[in-house]
Amino acid sequence: MRTIRWGIIGAGDVTEIKSGPAFQQARHSQLVAVMRRDAARARDYAQRHGVPRWTDDADALIHDPEVDAVYIATPPHVHMAYTLRVAQAGKPVYVEKPMARTYDECQAMIDACRAAGVPLFVAYYRRALPRFLKIKALIDEGAIGTVRSVAIALHQPPAPAELDPANLPWRVVPEIAGGGKFVDLASHMLDFLDYVLGPIRQAQGFASNQAGLYAAEDIVSGSFVFDSGAQGVGTWCFSSGQALDRIEIAGTEGQIAFACFDTSPITITAGGQTATYQIDNPPHVQGPLIQMVVDALNGSGACPSTGESAARTNWVMDQMLAGYRSARRPA
């Protein structure tokens, strides 16, 4: 079986622990080149992680004959442009989440990869983590019966960096992120629900900015309906005084409750009994999904997180943010 030789565009924070080392540790995988616009930082990353080549030129990495596939780990505003360039070079793409800023950008990426005959994978790694696979297995086995409803609550106080309007993090700059932290974090939650319960066919929402710390929305409330007929509601607030991270999935025979962003116990209540499962994440959380991507590229497996599945999550977020985006659009 061949070794997939990877190049990374945008070797920033997410690649330090979550993903970068996993390309070296996965079977039949090797990280051979990294790119950052800052040459000194590219060189530093390569030296610290034992990567043989580094560059500040994305096209040099894309067209490197020693690079078989490319991981795009930049902020979302350049996901589409880099994906199109990698696809034109005839190489598979693994791109960070959210897949892009909007559903239309996602569709352009899908179309480009389809036309070039190359696969497109997206880093929604909860589709491969043991903790979340346990939740999926419980639901698939009928542990809570037929799913009827979902309730999401994600509340966070403002981060210290968000209090400095002159140096805002890119995740709250709509032109870069596609929105605020809702786009960055709710995408994980909505994508996992898509994986467990199937596609969402209808969605709507209300978004606003309550704290006035930046231009992006800082609160979103939404409702949605799955193809199965199950319904869901969610509230995402990023100017609250206290943190809350909870997803509840209720069925005809019971309920499962769990956090999306920490590893607190999964709780299932059914038949008058309550059980808990403590399942920790691996040190490099993208590792299991990266292994699936490598196996898919070698024809020995399948990856559950593709351009098509990830685009559905962008579509749902677009529906929930439509009113807020329209109100902000210049006349």
Question: How much is the pLDDT for 331?
Answer: 58
Scanning 93-160, the segments in alpha helix (DSSP H) are 103-116, 130-140
pLDDT, residue 84, reads 98
pLDDT of 330 > 90? The answer is no
* 3-state secondary structure (DSSP) of residue 175: helix
Residue 98: asked if its preceding bond is cis (omega within 30°), the reply is: yes
Residue 328 has pLDDT above 90, yes or no: no
pLDDT over threshold 70, residue 306 = yes
Q: State the DSSP string of 54-100.
A: EES-HHHHHT-TT--EEEE-S-GGGHHHHHHHHHHTT--EEEPSSS-
Strand locations in 136-176 (E): 147-155
Q: How far apart are CA 331 and CA 326, in angstroms?
A: 10
Sign for the CA dihedral angle at 116, 10, 107, 199 comes to: positive
Distance CA 223, CA 205 (A): 6
pLDDT reported for residue 329? 77
Give the mean model confidence (pLDDT) for residues 103-124: 98
Calculate the average pLDDT of the chain.
Answer: 97
Tell how many helices (H) and how many strands (E) occur in the chain: 12, 14
Residues 250-267, mean pLDDT to the nearest whole number: 98
pTM value is 0.97
8: exposed, middle or buried (Cβ count in 10 Å: 0-12, 13-18, 19+): buried
Domains and CATH numbers, the chain: 4-126+286-304 (3.40.50.720), 129-283+313-328 (3.30.360.10)
- At residue 272 the predicted structure's pLDDT band, cuts being 50, 70 and 90, is very high
- Whether the CB-CB separation of 8 and 33 falls below 8 Å is answered with yes
Q: What is the CA radius of gyration of the chain?
A: 20
> For residue range 8-64, what is the model confidence (pLDDT) as tens digits?
999 999 999 999 999 999 999 999 999 999 999 999 999 999 999 999 999 999 999
Start-to-end C-alpha separation, the chain: 56
Per-residue pLDDT, 253: 98
> What would the pLDDT profile of 124-159 be if each residue is shown by its tens digit?
999 999 999 999 999 999 999 999 999 999 999 999
Averaged pLDDT for residues 281-301: 98
* Torsion angle (degrees, nearest 10) of CA 56, 18, 126, 106: -10
> Would you state the pLDDT for residue 327?
87
The SS3 of residue 220 is strand
